[in-house]
Amino acid sequence: MANHLHKGDLPDGLDLGPVVAIDCETMGLVPGRDRLCLVQMSAGDGDCHLVQVAPGQAQAPNLCRMLADPDVLKLFHFGRFDIAALDNAFGVLTAPVYCTKIASKLVRTFTDRHGLKYLLQDLLNVDISKQQQQSDWGAAELTPAQLDYAASDVLHLHRLRGALDRLLAREGRTELAQACFDFLPYRAQLDLAGWPEIDIFAH
C-alpha cells in the first residue's frame, strides 16, 4: 500500500478506473460552513491518492472531471456529506454514486451500528483506527498518521460494496438501494440549499 499526496488536483493522465472509492476530510461537519481540506481516493488496488485542497481553492479540473464522469461509479461511506462538501467547494455534482452506509441501513436492520469501522469489522474482519478523525485537517503539512487514517477510509470500500451487494440481493432490496443512490446527489444539494434536517416527504 502506498499513499500519493497531490497538491490541489489529481495529476494529468491519472486513471483510477471505472469504480473509485472517495472520502473527504473537512474542518467540521457543516458543508456550507466548513471548508474542504482533503479528498482521498482509491481504485481498489491498495494505493490511495490524496488531493490536498488549499484555502479558497475553487477549482480542481481533473478531480471534478472524474466526479462528474457518468462512466465512473463513485463509492462513499455516508456519501451525503462528501457529495455536499465537494459540491460546495467546486460546484460539481458527483454522480453516479454508491453509499455503503445506505446499503447497510437497508439490509442490516438488526443493528444501529452502521459506521464504517463497525461495517469493516463485521463484514470484512478488518479493524481500522479512528484516532485521527478529529485532527486538524486544515494544517499546511499533514502528518503520516493523518494520511494513513484518511487512506484507511477508502482502501476497503470496494470489498465492502461486494459484501453489501450480496446482502442486498439476498434481501431483495437491490433496486431500492439503487433508487436511493440515484437520489443521493440531490439529497446533498437539498442540504446545501437549506433543508438539512427537514423531511420534505413528511406530511
pLDDT digits (tens, 9 = 90+) for 10-37: 999 999 999 999 999 999 999 999 999 9
The count of residues in the chain is: 203
Under the banding of pLDDT at 50, 70 and 90, the label for residue 134 is confident
88-106: pLDDT as tens digits? 999 999 999 999 999 999 9
Strand order in the sheet with 36-42: 3-7, 48-52, 36-42, 19-26, 73-76, 97-99
Check pLDDT > 90 for residue 110: yes
Of residues 114, 100, 125, the one with CA closest to residue 180: 100
- pLDDT of 165: 98
Under the banding of pLDDT at 50, 70 and 90, the label for residue 132 is low
Q: Does the domain formed by 3-135+143-193 have CATH 3.20.20.480?
A: no
d(Cα 104, Cα 99) in Å, to the nearest integer?
9
Domain positions in the chain are: 3-135+143-193
139-185: pLDDT as tens digits? 999 999 999 999 999 999 999 999 999 999 999 999 999 999 999 99
Per the CB < 8 A criterion, the answer to whether 62 and 12 are in contact is yes
